[in-house]
Chains A and B, each alone.
Chain A
Amino acid sequence: MSKSINKINSTAVPLNLENVDTDQIIPARFLKATSREGFGENLFRDWRYNSDGTPKKDFVLNNPAYKGKILVGGKNFGCGSSREHAAWAIKDAGFDVVVSSFFADIFKNNALNNFLLPVTVSDAFLTKIFAAIEKDAAAEIKVDLEAQTISVNGESEKFEINNYKKTCLLNGYDDIDYLLSIKGEIEAFEKAHS
């Protein structure tokens, strides 16, 4: 897994649907692995493949015109189950950024914990992104974590991310590294509260 994120400039894959839930991102029957790798293969399994395993032509991931490191989804992306496998699958399939106007909470945390950057944009900007990709599949989207901006066709918008998470992503730290470093404080807390 590539740690640390800063600038990502890439074409994008548009998935213009609202309420994309984690059961679609990775159906439960593919959750039986005991490692984190290899989930990309089954990303959007039932939308992407027929039951006999042949690709569904009309699904965007099977359209060679669309590729890149950025996945753009509709409102309420990642709702449903807490399965981190959804974030693993997206990351494993080669994406570093997911853009939506609204993310489900747990998905957002899971994404951040896996160095997959969730970028929340306004409804209006999301519409612009979809329109830009529709017009030209080669349209480049620029995401700058340091500056907290996302741009397409020369227009850009600021996005929110909390400072702590931003520092983690920019430097490739994770929460566990931090929490282990304050173990003494945690033990003191336990003593005071027992």
Chain B
Amino acid sequence: MPKTLFEKIWDKHVVKTIEGGPSVLYIDTQFIHEVTSPQAFKGIEKRGIEVFRPKQIVATADHNVPTLHQELPIKEELSRVQVEKLIENCKKHGVELYGLGHPYQGIVHVIGPELGVTQPGQTYVCGDSHTSTHGAFGSIAFGIGTSEVEMVMATQCLMQSKPKLMRINVEGTLGKGVVSKDIILYIIAHISASGATGYFVEFAGSAIRSLSMESRMTICNMSIEMGARGGMIAPDQTTFDYIKGRQFAPKGADWDKKLAQWKELYSDEGAKFDKEITINAADIEPMITYGTNPGMGISVAGHIPAESEIETKEQPAYRKSLDYMGLAAGSEIKGKKVDYVFIGSCTNSRIEDLRLVASFVKGKKKADNVEVWVVPGSKQVEKQAIEEGIDKVFEAAGFNLRQPGCSACLGMNEDKIPAGKYCISTSNRNFEGRQGPNARTLLASPLTAAVAAITGEVADIREFI
């Protein structure tokens, strides 16, 4: 019987299936970080058991680390305690930690792929919803809660029901100024923030195939924002070229063996999906969100929907959302003044994103009314940006290049957007208060963020390139 990509990997990882219940799914690698792991370690200790496979866990500190002066002790006490707890737990339980000061430290979903830990055909979990990022390599990767983190620490397995499967095909060529972030914002706007709940999504089609690994990661990263359990893309030559030679990539004969296996990872002709959608790449424009969930996105050249265009039942939430954002229904988004530009997060803080921003910004200066933060996804991204002189481009433009971490994506450290201020952000969530209490977030691509940094307002990148 023809199988989907998902089924090929899933079937290989099922230890057993309980009658009328979930399956026991084997997890190859778990990523952990300081915020969602302490209670899990505590749980393990309380049960009086050991971490089952400590070598299959990779740890980093990212969510609440400062992005300035990482060499100094963390000032904020609670953050410091969490980071110290992680160090202590990893040491005690034999888990490899790429903590502050380590050359591999960075946002968990940036470092996994860049170190070659993330590989096709594997299962990955992390106590973080954007674990879906790793699906870009043709693996099953999804976010879990802390009880499940503990479960995987205890047994390297999870109880999972097989999700429904959806395939989203993006066919054709992308227009000028349109990048992968626009593809995913467009898809979410079309199927809504809950449109893929219960599904695991495979992204396919010629437009997806043409993307680099970094761009594919951006898409899988945000699949969770339409409710999907995860997203994935079949591996191909682009994937193999990306992995080859990385620190933890297979080497020599092992590489050849793995490569042969990876080449079998695609959805067979005639494989069944519970739902299938096809999108024409040419319809996608540079996108921006205007509301408080990632499904509230429009073309930068478009209008915020009038209330009459919203279903009656959804109107109260819609009003609340626009009220929070200080935006008027029916108005244009272009020309809206912004106060902050945040280029970072596991969605768009890879070297390709920084290069893209730098290519547009080179020789220009930021607008006086904006503050621009660029937060690289990892120490390796930071290092490479410096080697390529990207730091100098940013400095000349008046941007503030910081040190790696989640930063203003969720405002757990001191990088918060002040109340009432507007921030164009390359991150993935525009929820109320996500970037700080009462902060107003407009999600967009790195290019749209770059043009906003220069003009000080929401602008259409197509008019500038």
Binding site for B on A (CB under 8 A): 16-19, 21, 23-24, 27-29, 31-36, 46, 51, 74-76, 79-85, 87, 102, 104-106, 109-110, 113-114, 162-165, 174-176, 178-180, 182-183, 185-186, 189-190, 193
Contact present for A87 and B39 (CB under 8 Å): no
Does B432 belong to the interface (CB within 8 Å)? Answer: yes
Does B128 belong to the interface (CB within 8 Å)? Answer: yes
B82, B128, B146, B431: the one contacting A21 at CB < 8 Å is: B431
Bound CA span A36–B37, Å: 11
Contacts A18-B314, A21-B293, A106-B143 given; indicate if A34 touches B39 (C-beta within 8 A): yes
Taking CB as reference atom, which chain B residue is nearest A105?
A: B229
Contact present for A182 and B24 (CB under 8 Å): yes
* Chain B window 7-30, contacts with chain A (Cβ cutoff 8 Å), 1 for yes, 0 for no: 000001001101011101010000
Bound CA span A110–B42, Å: 17
Contacts A34-B38, A162-B21 given; indicate if A46 touches B432 (C-beta within 8 A): yes
Bound CA span A76–B127, Å: 20
Contact present for B155 and A164 (CB under 8 Å): no
* Chain B window 183-219, contacts with chain A (Cβ cutoff 8 Å), 1 for yes, 0 for no: 0000000000110011000000000000000000000
What are 14 inter-chain pairs, A to B, with CB distance below 8 A?
A19-B193, A28-B410, A32-B82, A34-B39, A36-B39, A80-B429, A84-B127, A110-B146, A165-B22, A178-B159, A179-B159, A186-B15, A189-B15, A193-B12
Contact present for B198 and A105 (CB under 8 Å): yes
* Chain B window 409-453, contacts with chain A (Cβ cutoff 8 Å), 1 for yes, 0 for no: 011100000010000000001011110011000000000000000
Contacts A23-B434, A29-B411, A105-B227 given; indicate if A84 touches B147 (C-beta within 8 A): yes
Contacts A17-B317, A28-B411 given; indicate if A80 touches B145 (C-beta within 8 A): no
B324 CB to nearest A CB, Å: 10
Does B49 belong to the interface (CB within 8 Å)? Answer: yes
Contact present for A34 and B155 (CB under 8 Å): no
Contact present for B193 and A79 (CB under 8 Å): yes
Does B154 belong to the interface (CB within 8 Å)? Answer: yes
Contacts A31-B35, A106-B143, A176-B150 given; indicate if A185 touches B16 (C-beta within 8 A): yes
